[in-house]
Structure formats: C-alpha cells, structure tokens
C-alpha cells in the first residue's frame, strides 16, 4: 500500500488529492483546495499554502508527493509566481521527508485520459470515473491534483511490475 499526494500549484487556489495504491488498484482517499485571499500579500499567500500543505502532509503521511511541472505561461510574471508556489511545495515535502516526483501536464493527461492534449473537462470526467471521489470537486485545481496523484500511482504500479 502506498499513498500519493498530488498537487496542482496555484497562487490563489492550490489543489491537492490523495490516492492509495494497493497492487494495481488505485483508489481515492481525499482531496480539496487551499484557497488564499487575493487581498493577502504574496509572502502571506505563500505562507498560507505552506501551512496548509504541512497540515495535509501531517494528517495523511503520504509516501510520495507528485506535482505538476510548470508550463510556460503566456505571462512571464505568472510563470515566476507559479515557480514560487512550487518552491513552497518542494520545501513542505522536504520538511516532511517525502520524496517529490514531477510530471508534465502532457504526461498527466496521457495517464488519465490517454491523450496528452486532452481538455481539462475530459481530465475531470475521467478522474471522477476512475477514482469516484466522495464529493464533487470544488474546482479543476482539485481534479487536476487528483490526476497528478493518479499519474504517479499508475507509473509507480507499472514500474513495480517490471521489478525482478
């Protein structure tokens, strides 16, 4: 049995999703969002994300953290801000002693939908079908985080099947 915490980084909404892998079975455990106020300064938002992630890491004690790599946004400032959020995620995981695995958006979509160019709505629909969450995810950030966790668990299952 192995727990994976998937994270979809965002400066205002960061999604998280936790899945459990037992053998080849992957099942939903929990998910949610960390919403930070737009009125807060950037350092306050980053601190809030770190504190909430620390709570999630402590509560669930995952074996791995999977995070989506940054895509090159049209706005360089947005790319830099996402990089700062990812830095907070990496520090939180390192502080908890949990290894981090990174996946491109294309890898995540391909693992969940079977097509790397899938639309977010297709990813959300497949996440609901494959993992059957116990509630309707609040945002695409939450379903994207579950997709990242699923991607890692699926790849870990495949890698485990190749071991001697």
Question: Does the pTM of the predicted model rise above 0.95?
Answer: no
Q: How far apart are CA 97 and CA 56, in angstroms?
A: 14
Contact 102, 95 (CB under 8 A): no
Spans of the chain, pLDDT less than 50: 160-164
Q: How confident is the model over 31-72, as pLDDT tens digits?
A: 999 999 788 899 999 999 999 999 999 999 999 999 988 766
Contact 152, 64 (CB under 8 A): yes
Point out which residues pair with 31 in neighbouring strands. 17
Q: How far apart are CA 117 and CA 109, in angstroms?
A: 7
Residue 67 DSSP class: E
- Cite the active site residues: 8, 68, 141
């Amino acid at each position: 049995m192995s727990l994976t915490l998937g994270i979809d980084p965002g400066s205002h909404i960061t999604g998280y999703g936790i899945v459990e892998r037992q053998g080849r079975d992957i099942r939903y455990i929990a998910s949610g969002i960390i919403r930070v106020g737009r009125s807060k300064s950037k350092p306050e938002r980053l601190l809030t994300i770190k504190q909430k992630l620390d709570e999630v890491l402590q509560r669930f004690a995952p074996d791995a953290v999977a995070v989506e790599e940054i895509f090159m946004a049209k706005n360089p400032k947005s790319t830099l801000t996402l990089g700062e959020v990812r830095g907070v995620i990496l520090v939180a995981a390192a502080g908890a002693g949990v290894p981090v695995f990174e996946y491109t958006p294309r890898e995540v979509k391909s693992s969940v939908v079977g097509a790397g160019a899938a639309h977010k709505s297709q990813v959300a629909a497949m996440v609901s079908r494959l993992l059957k969450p116990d509630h309707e995810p609040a945002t695409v950030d939450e379903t994207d985080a579950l997709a990242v966790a699923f991607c890692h668990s699926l790849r870990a299952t495949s890698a485990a099947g190749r071991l001697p």
